[in-house]
Amino acid sequence: MNREKALEIVKEQLTEHRYQHTLGVVQTALELADRYEEDSQKAELAAIFHDYAKFRPKDEMKEIVRKQAMPESLLHYGGELLHAPVGAYLVEKEAGIDDRDILAAIAYHTTGRVGMGKLEKIIFLADYIEPGRKFPGVDEVRQLAREDLDTACLQALKNTVTFLMKQNQLVYPETINAYNSLLAQHKNKERNGGI
């Protein structure tokens, strides 16, 4: 699918504000794809569709989680997590995108996961640092994203977990698992003189 068609489909699903955020994610994902030698067409499509299900009714999303045998635990973290895995499902079903890398990048863009592939990391990070994002710590992650993809994801995960804890919000365990996994990898690299 080309960029124009994809944007046309997504625009109908989003508010103007969320559409502008999406355009920021597209721009950032393309920059990261170029820097880290990822397929730019996949990065562009994953970025365009990443928030496809953001405004679907919660009840519809909960039903999809149950019927499609997605992790039941997703239902216990306040509803904001559902749009990512449900989005991946709907993007395949309604927009005909069947590339597994793109669908995984959409599915895990909010929580992250252990063993994220390069495209998943790029979309996770692009969603966090696109130019419209303004919150403490974002500039540090923007700088890290220019240096090393894993270190930048690690810092974004750390900020997210810290933020949620400060807000007294539940933290989805896979986000902590992803943080631990990247931190262990980082420490290993340090020990072996790689960083």
Ligand X SMILES: Nc1ncnc2c1ncn2[C@@H]1O[C@H](COP(=O)(O)OP(=O)(O)O)[C@@H](O)[C@H]1O
Q: Which residues bind ligand X (CB under 6 A)?
A: 77, 80-81, 110-111, 160, 164, 169-172, 175
CB 146 to ligand X: min, Å: 22
Tell the smallest beta-carbon distance from residue 153 to ligand X (Å).
13
**Shortest Å distance, C-beta 194 to ligand X:** 28
Whichever of 60 and 190 has its CB closer to ligand X, that residue is 60
Q: Closest CB to ligand X among 50 and 118?
A: 50
Question: What is 34-78 written as a DSSP string?
Answer: HHTT--HHHHHHHHHHTTTTTTS-HHHHHHHHHHTT--GGGGGST
- Closer residue to ligand X (CB): 43 or 53: 53
Q: Which is nearer to ligand X, 110 or 155 (CB)?
A: 110
Spatial separation of the C-alpha atoms in residues 38 and 138, rounded to whole Å: 23
- Give me the least distance between CB of 17 and ligand X, in Å please: 10
**Minimum CB separation from ligand X for residue 84, in Å?**
7
The residue at minimum Cβ distance from ligand X is: 80
CB closer to ligand X out of 96 and 136: 136
Concatenated DSSP letters of the chain: --HHHHHHHHHTTS-HHHHHHHHHHHHHHHHHHHHTT--HHHHHHHHHHTTTTTTS-HHHHHHHHHHTT--GGGGGSTTTTTHHHHHHHHHHHHH----HHHHHHHHTTTT--TT--HHHHHHHHHHHHSTT--STTHHHHHHHHHH-HHHHHHHHHHHHHHHHHHTT----HHHHHHHHHHHHHHHHHHHTT--
Q: Pick the closer one to ligand X by CB: 4 or 16.
A: 16
User: Closest distance between ligand X and the C-beta of residue 193, in Å?
Assistant: 32
